[in-house]
Amino acid sequence: MLKVLDSAVPVACWSCSIGHNDFTLFCPNCSKIQPPPGGDYFSVFSMKPRLNLDLAALEAEFHRLSRKLHPDRFARALENEKQWSLADTALLNDAYRTLKDPLRRTGYLLKLEGAEVGEEHSGKNRVDPSRVPADLLEEVFELNMQLEEMRAARKMGEEDPELQASLTQAKKKFQALLEAVDKDLRAEWTAWDEGNEVARGIAQDKMVALLDRRRYLSNLLRDVNETLGD
């Protein structure tokens, strides 16, 4: 059943009306649970935005907060506390899911900083021809031809070992390109984390381009894998 949740954010603590609950999950005065605070995913973990994260520490903090916020802990609480526990835990889970994954984390931070980040494509046209990185044009066209031939051969129930080998070769090549992108991304993370405003601006632009390239390559690889039946 669908129902409407109230997500209005009061300023003073609903319980003691002394503590202010901006950006905190619990009232600093009386420790009662509060409605979801404004603020970004990093602030849920009491962090400033950054890209190099200690994942073990992030997980430990996720578990610590889960123990305090989870609806299981509020099964016998007041109705409003139940609702906030639900909303706060959803926020915590959304934040953890986004921050623990390197690519989601990068995309999220770039959006926070106001960058235009491409969306994951769904549907049949996952590999958008207009977004082919210029330096890969020739290879991508050849690969797409081979993929088409392979699919046609499969449809006829034929095996073409030569084509198969050539595709496997191409797969390895694109895999290496993907790894190179990941390496470049990590370098930009550090540049962003440690840089001043100017350096961050430059790193952001590079990361947007790298994410685009990475998305393109990984979609391509997915197509190759599906066609090869791996």
Nearer to other proteins, 160 or 223 (CB): 223
Q: Where are the beta strands (DSSP E) in 33-100?
A: none
Decide: is 70 part of the binding site for other proteins (CB under 8 A). Answer: yes
Could you give the C-alpha distances from 125 to 89, 115, 121, 223, in angstroms and in order? 35, 24, 7, 11
DSSP 30: T
Decide: is 134 part of the binding site for other proteins (CB under 8 A). Answer: no
Q: Which member of 26, 41, 84, 96 binds other proteins (CB under 8 A)?
A: 96
The CB-of-178 to other proteins minimum distance in angstroms stands at: 16
- For 202, half-sphere exposure in the C-beta direction (CA atoms, 13 angstrom radius) is 9
Q: Which member of 11, 54, 56, 76 binds other proteins (CB under 8 A)?
A: 76
Q: Which member of 10, 55, 72, 199 binds other proteins (CB under 8 A)?
A: 72
Using CB under 8 A as the binding criterion, the count of chain residues that bind other proteins stands at 27
Helix, strand or coil, per DSSP, at residue 186: helix
Decide: is 20 part of the binding site for other proteins (CB under 8 A). Answer: no
Q: For other proteins, which stretch binds (CB under 8 A), given 42-50, 69-77, 109-117, 150-158? A: 69-77
Tokens linked to 174: 């694109």
Q: Which member of 17, 46, 57, 97 binds other proteins (CB under 8 A)?
A: 97
Decide: is 3 part of the binding site for other proteins (CB under 8 A). Answer: yes
Could you give the C-alpha distances from 58 to 96, 97, 185, in angstroms and in order? 8, 11, 20
The CB-of-3 to other proteins minimum distance in angstroms stands at: 5
Could you give the C-alpha distances from 219 to 76, 100, 103, 222, in angstroms and in order? 47, 22, 14, 5
